[in-house]
A and B are shown apart, each in its own frame.
Chain A
Amino acid sequence: MAPYLLRRFAFLLVSLVLASVVLFVLLRMLPGDPANALTSVGASPEQIAAARHSIGSDRPLPEQFTHWIGQLATGDLGTSFVSSLPVGPEVGSRLNVTVPLTLAAFLLAVLIAVPAGFVAAYKRHTWYGALLSGASQLGIAVPVFWLGMILVAVFALNAGWLPAGGFPPDGWDQPGEAVRSLVLPVVTIALVMSASLIRYVRSATLDVLGSDYLRTARALGSSFGRAMWRHGLRNASVPVVSVLGIELASTLLGAVVVESVYALPGLGSMLATGIAQHDYPVIQGVLFVSTLAVLLIGFAADLVQRIIDPRLRGRLSGGAP
């Protein structure tokens, strides 16, 4: 396991460096001058040049890149062009919204999808098994923002049980309010996520149910529950874990739409503002932190898969099914 860990970690580092290069180059291909955001309309060429100089965008690209990487190495994400505030603490405070939102939605989605997917496979010839499969078909076709709109209309505007959007100004210092404002966003993401997860769990369970080893275990006298527990669970969880990793990563980054529906001050809305204002340090900072998170999640998912499935141990990266 140790040599594998080393190799996998090297792979993670290389991916991170590659991703930062791509990120940096892609951003510099954006049209528009960030200095425009700093100067008023009709600023003189000297003022614009001064603005460029103050944010360093007049320096050659390789120099800007090494400067950025050097900052990153010391844990500094840079300073926003627009607000002149450091990006790091801002990202940190946004993570206070996005991380609880993502993790809670992810846990809820797993809690819904694993039993539902199992029942959808095991009881596929009953009406409720078919209903679950149908519900997941419906769920993957529903746009997440529309589901959010409907939940707001029903539970916030009509029933008035929960806030329609926003986050308390004091954040987690008002824990009750903070939790209440995250309930609907969490449910929105979890429902959409579980819809696609159910399909994976169902298909993995179907594979196990039709497998020879399960039949052999039953023939040797194991009860169905015991055979599933000892042989089925481990086999079914391999493809599901790999999908879980991808789902968690894409929820973390894809929360931007849901944050927009519920006007939450999360990482996604910070990114959207950064893109609109051509605020390179903000965009770079948010995307770098998210990429790091995505890579770490992938790392964890690969490790878990290898612990579950010894057959994967010759391979560098466990892929999705």
Chain B
Amino acid sequence: MTQTLRTSSEAPQAAPAKRRGRRSATLITGCVLSGLIFLLALVSLVWTPYASDDTSGGRLTGPGAGHLLGTDKLGRDLFTQLMTGSRIAVEAGLGSVLIAAVAGVTLGVLAAFAQGWLDDTLSAFLDILIAFPTLLLAMLIVAARSATLGSAVLAIGLAQSAVVARVVRILVKRVLAQDYITAARTSGTSWPWIVAGHVLPNIWPTLVVNLALQFGLAVLAEAGLSYLGLGAPPPNASWGRMLQEAQATFTTAPAGALAPGVLLVLLVIGVNLVADGLRDTLDPATRRRRS
């Protein structure tokens, strides 16, 4: 509904070239920010300044020559912890989004094809699932399995698949109402071919933007779960767990309580900017509105 109400509030002749430049600036800033964290995660696979279980540094030393950002309360190098934390964050984001994409698209397409009461029931079910906060659903699933990164990712991915499914359902319904679908049906194309050939190519720009936003939310949710002690277990330095451990020493050793949060914010802002940039580039419907 909102789509049809939108009109070209800003006249297209108002310096389109300049605006396109600003748009790609959003995309580039987003790529640089999130790319930095992804790079950190990749490098941590082959190299970290210290071993992640190396407690040889003094406890809670401040930033200095031997340890770039100092050490935590067990004497582990903070920068090393941050690097492994970035890997956990990226894994959590990618894993959850993968689950959300597969389950969400399947459910959403099915719901879009459903008619009558089945459609009503499915939408009501999705609405209830969406009203349930991700974190709570995740807590239940993590409690049912055990506190590992896998459980957290599964829980977040499942919770998010409801959101993705609802978006996909609306998008697919809109595509199915088009004349070219009727034409394809009339010419004898089967439903699987219609989905693969007409529906998915038409919805993917919006879908990709939505999944990018879900990536940021998944990273935040994983951090929240590990803050509560429901994420990856202790030897793994998740950013959420690092923050929880550093909370008690915030005033005496602020580096440990600030650095993981800063990286988290940078990563989430980065992927959100990528999503905004992609939406402006990929989705022709939004090209002429918004500043």
Residues of A within 8 A of B (CB): 11, 15, 18-19, 26, 29-31, 124-125, 137-138, 140-146, 149-150, 152-153, 157-158, 203, 206-207, 209-212, 239, 246, 249-250, 253-254, 256-257, 260-261, 271-272, 275-276, 290-291, 294-295, 298, 316-317, 319, 321
Partner of B2, one of A141, A212, A239: A239
Partner of A272, one of B139, B166, B269: B139
Interface contact A275-B5, CB-CB below 8 Å: no
Which residues of chain A are near B124, meaning CB under 8 Å?
11, 15, 317
Q: Which residue of B lies closest to A276 (CB)?
A: B143
Interface contact A210-B6, CB-CB below 8 Å: yes
Interface contact A249-B135, CB-CB below 8 Å: no
Complex Cα–Cα for A137 and B9 (A): 23
Interface contact A209-B9, CB-CB below 8 Å: yes
CB distance from B130 to the nearest CB of A (A): 7
- The residue in B2, B7, B132, B289 that gathers the most chain A C-beta atoms within 10 A of its C-beta is B132
Residues of B within 8 A of A (CB): 1-2, 5-10, 120, 123-125, 127-128, 130-133, 135-136, 139-140, 143-145, 166, 216, 220, 223-224, 227-228, 240, 243-244, 247, 250-251, 254, 257, 261, 264-265, 268-269, 272-273, 289-291
Q: Which applies to chain B's interface (DSSP): helix, strand, loop or mixed?
A: helix
CB distance from B258 to the nearest CB of A (A): 8
Partner of A254, one of B135, B145, B254, B265: B135
Partner of A142, one of B1, B131, B265: B265
Interface contact A124-B128, CB-CB below 8 Å: no
- Kindly list 17 other residue pairs between chains A and B, CB separation below 8 angstroms, not including A143-B261, A250-B133: A18-B125, A30-B144, A31-B145, A137-B273, A143-B243, A144-B224, A146-B261, A146-B264, A149-B250, A203-B290, A209-B9, A210-B10, A210-B289, A249-B131, A256-B135, A276-B143, A321-B1
Which residues of chain A are near B9, meaning CB under 8 Å?
206, 209-210
- The residue in A143, A256, A319 that gathers the most chain B C-beta atoms within 10 A of its C-beta is A143
Q: Which applies to chain A's interface (DSSP): helix, strand, loop or mixed?
A: helix
Q: A246-B130, A250-B133, A294-B131 are in contact. Are A210 and B7 (CB under 8 A)?
A: yes
Instruction: Give 30 CB contacts A-B under 8 Å.
Output: A15-B124, A15-B128, A19-B128, A30-B144, A137-B273, A143-B220, A143-B223, A143-B224, A143-B227, A143-B243, A143-B264, A145-B240, A146-B261, A149-B247, A149-B257, A149-B261, A152-B250, A203-B290, A210-B7, A211-B7, A249-B133, A253-B136, A254-B133, A257-B228, A290-B136, A291-B132, A294-B131, A317-B124, A319-B123, A321-B1
Q: Which residue of A lies closest to B223 (CB)?
A: A143
CB distance from B87 to the nearest CB of A (A): 18
Which residues of chain B are near A256, meaning CB under 8 Å?
135-136, 139, 228
Partner of A260, one of B5, B133, B227, B264: B227
Q: Which residue of B lies closest to A290 (CB)?
A: B136
Interface contact A31-B144, CB-CB below 8 Å: yes
Which residues of chain A are near B268, meaning CB under 8 Å?
140-141
Partner of B269, one of A138, A143, A144, A291: A138
CB distance from B131 to the nearest CB of A (A): 5
Which residues of chain B are near A249, meaning CB under 8 Å?
131, 133
Interface contact A153-B269, CB-CB below 8 Å: no
- The residue in B10, B143, B224, B289 that gathers the most chain A C-beta atoms within 10 A of its C-beta is B143
Across the A-B interface, the 8 shortest Cβ-Cβ residue pairs: A210-B9, A141-B268, A146-B261, A250-B133, A254-B133, A275-B143, A141-B269, A153-B250
